């Protein structure tokens, strides 16, 4: 699959950076629930539970918890899984390809080995319309996903 933003949706938020850790470690942090729970949302928020079934239609589930007792369950499915290269998932469907009540986005995460023990990490949050894109920006996409990427890097370097 080529870059989804080249000819795809107009409503995309993107985070791109070089992670100072091997692609294998970054992939593991994204796909092993015990590791995902350690970095997936910016502190003081935390993930208390996650399940990831790495196949098209497989469950991608997480529970994010806030410092004031907030709790957000995110239930979706994997659309594409290419080990150590690409992970695409969405909340538009629940397991069993059941449409969700309110689809928010499709996440397209790309991992590229830079050849020097680092990983080029690109995450696209693709939305159906301007309203959900703006909502995601107001939730703090840039700051939050940036802090989470810092946490991802720290964890990926340590394993």
Contacts of 42 (CB under 8 A, 6+ apart): 140, 143, 144, 147, 148, 151
pLDDT at 136: 84
Q: CA triplet 20, 25, 26: central angle to 5 degrees? A: 70
Contacts of 82 (CB under 8 A, 6+ apart): none
- Reported pTM: 0.90
- Say how far apart CA 131 and CA 69 lie, in whole Å: 27
- Say how far apart CA 152 and CA 56 lie, in whole Å: 24
Closest among 137, 158, 23, 13 to 87, alpha carbons compared: 23
Q: For 23-76, what is each residue's pLDDT tens digit?
A: 999 999 999 999 999 999 999 999 999 999 999 999 999 999 999 999 999 999
- Say how far apart CA 97 and CA 100 lie, in whole Å: 9
Between 30 and 143, the more confident residue is: 30
CATH number of 11-158: 3.30.530.20
Domain residue spans of the chain: 11-158
Contacts of 75 (CB under 8 A, 6+ apart): 59, 60, 61, 91, 94, 95, 100
Closest among 41, 43, 39 to 28, alpha carbons compared: 39
């Amino acid at each position: 699959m080529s870059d989804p933003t080249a000819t795809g949706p107009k409503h995309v938020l993107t985070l791109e950076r070089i992670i100072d850790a091997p692609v294998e470690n970054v992939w593991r942090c994204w796909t092993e629930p015990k590791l995902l729970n350690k970095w997936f949302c910016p502190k003081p928020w935390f993930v208390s539970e996650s399940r990831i079934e790495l196949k098209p239609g497989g469950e991608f589930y997480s529970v994010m918890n806030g410092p004031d007792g907030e709790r957000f369950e995110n239930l979706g499915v994997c659309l594409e899984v290419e080990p150590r290269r690409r992970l695409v998932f969405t909340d538009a469907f629940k397991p069993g390809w059941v449409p969700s009540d309110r689809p928010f986005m499709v996440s397209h995460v790309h991992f590229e080995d830079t050849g020097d023990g680092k990983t080029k990490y690109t995450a696209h949050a693709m939305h159906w319309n301007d309203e959900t894109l703006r909502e995601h920006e107001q939730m703090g996409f840039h700051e939050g996903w940036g802090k989470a990427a810092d946490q991802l890097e720290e964890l990926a370097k340590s394993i």
